[in-house]
Amino acid sequence: MPTDWERALAVVAHPDDLEYGGAGAVALWTAEGRTAAYLLATRGEAGIDTIPPAECGPLREAEQRAAAAEVGVSDVEFLDYPDGVVEYGLPLRRDIAVAIRRHRPELVIVGNHRETWPGGGLNMADHRHVGLAVLDAVRDAGNRWVFPDQGGEAWDGVRWVAVAASPLAGHAVDIGPTFDRAVASLAAHQAYLEALGGEMADPEAFLRPMAEADGARLPGAELAVAFELIPL
């Protein structure tokens, strides 16, 4: 992964999306003195079957802020799109472009927007729609004639989009020094994990095999997190 950058913006659909993908890398980058901010399309209010959305949204927002703090991120924003039914379109592109213009990142991190997950399994619509909107919003943000009255000056300084949990991943970051922080970040989603159950509800047991598999592909690393890197 490239290292000649200072500012990153991570844009995902739901609370927990980053913690199941790139949080270990974010922890490493912030420890190196880089800055990172999080932008979430929804508050994840439809994510827990046993908790009504009006109650669930604030709970999951609080858990996401706690999760971000574990990896050195204090700037966490929510766009308030409806969880589970996020649509790709101009409003979503505009809101993400405005955020890019405000944060002026060189690296944008996004969740997997491909049709499937590594190893198979269909991806969900929110992930696909938000990821595609991010790719388009990066270009929108750099064109002063697109959304000209939104978000201040155009920003064409995004040099890469890094896609976490992509089946096309070809780059990786050694997260041996920050793996424990990645586990703590996922564990901060306590209510969500308790309701989720199964193998995904145990942060250490779920994250370690993935990190070991990615580490096996990165020379000199035991634990890593992989990304699909899209140069711009």
In a domain, 78, yes or no: yes
Give φ, ψ of 199 to 5 degrees: -65, -30
Q: How much is the pLDDT for 152? A: 80
Q: How much is the pLDDT for 197? A: 87
In sequence order, the β-bridge partners of residue 78 are: 40
Q: How much is the pLDDT for 36? A: 98
| Total domains, the chain | 1
Measured in residues, the chain has a length of 232
CATH number at residue 60: 3.40.50.10320
In a domain, 2, yes or no: no
In a domain, 143, yes or no: yes
Percent of the chain with pLDDT over 90: 95
Q: Half-sphere exposure of residue 116, counting CA atoms within 13 Å on the CB side?
A: 6
Taking only Cα atoms into account, the Rg of the chain, rounded to an integer number of angstroms, comes to 17
Q: How much is the pLDDT for 139? A: 97
Contacts of 162 (CB under 8 A, 6+ apart): 1, 22, 107, 108, 109, 110, 171, 227, 228, 229, 230
In a domain, 56, yes or no: yes
| Model confidence pLDDT, tens digit, residues 148-184 | 988 789 999 999 999 999 999 999 999 999 999 999 9
Q: What average pLDDT does this structure show over 197-224?
A: 94
Task: Please state the pTM of the whole predicted model.
Answer: 0.96
pLDDT at residue 89 greater than cutoff 80: yes
Distance in angstroms (rounded) separating the CA atoms of residues 179 and 218: 15
String of DSSP letters for 131-154? HHHHHHHHHHHH-TTSSTTSSSS-
